[in-house]
Amino acid sequence: MLNKKSQHINNQNNFFYLTLALVFLLISASLDKVITSGLLQYILEAFTLITFGICLLSLRFDKSWFRFLLSLVVAWLVAVITRAVLGVEEIEVIMLLLMFIFFYGTFRSIMRQILFTGSINTNKIIGSMTLFLLLGLMWAIGYLILIHFLPGSFHGINKGPWHENFADAAYFSFVTLTTLGYGDILPITPIAKVFAYLEAIVGVFYMAIVVSSLVSSSRVQYFNDNSDD
């Protein structure tokens, strides 16, 4: 039987839970083909809130970011309730901005914990996967904001509620981040093209910088351990 402590989110397994939460958030977006739009909105918002909660639990060890991220979650909930009560769809862009800032803050906190503290372990390797997922999510949200202000920026994604376009935006984001470029969704306007090629550049540099940093740190740790022997 598992020890109860092993079931809790701690600084030895926090990135594992966070990665799972992000994966489930992305999977929930794919339900747009099997459920109604109205229900999809509530499902996505519920999964987003759960992801926020797991992020907060995972990053509570970083006190400097925890309070900031918590305030963003409260503001996002206020925006959701305000939109539901008043029926003002324009509040959605505020929700997207808050989501972007939250995931950016999460990215910064994880980056500090992975690259600048302690030795390399399995949790930190999983954390590097979390960073990659966060990059894709941030760009997906950026595309949704761009579509809100500049409809027609993409061929294959039309302006609409964020929950209806989230799956396509996330799909295009990760296809671009990994430089696959299938071509079924295309940037049309100049600024959309800039967003797309900047994401592709970031994806390449992520592999070059973050992964190589982890490998280098692991080698230094290995040599230090052997020298002690």
Task: Write out pLDDT tens, residues 69-101.
Answer: 999 999 999 999 998 888 887 899 999 999 999
Mean of pLDDT values over 15-21: 92
Measured in degrees and rounded to the nearest 5, phi and psi for residue 186 equal -130, 140
Domains and CATH numbers, the chain: 15-222 (1.10.287.70)
- In this predicted model, what pLDDT tens digit does every residue of 171-209 receive, in sequence order? 999 999 998 888 899 999 999 999 999 999 999 888 877
End-to-end alpha carbon distance in the chain:
36
pLDDT(2) > 60? no
More confident residue, 115 or 155: 155
Q: What is the pLDDT of residue 6?
A: 42
155, containing H or E segment:
strand 154-155
Q: What is the pLDDT of residue 87?
A: 80
pLDDT(46) > 60? yes
pLDDT(1) > 50? no
- Helix 37-58 to helix 91-115 angle (10° resolution) is 30
Which of left, alpha, beta for 179 (phi over 0: left; psi -120 to 50: alpha)? left
Strand partners, 154: 157, 187
- What is the spatial distance between Cα 41 and Cα 49, in angstroms, rounded to a whole number? 12
Average pLDDT, the chain: 85
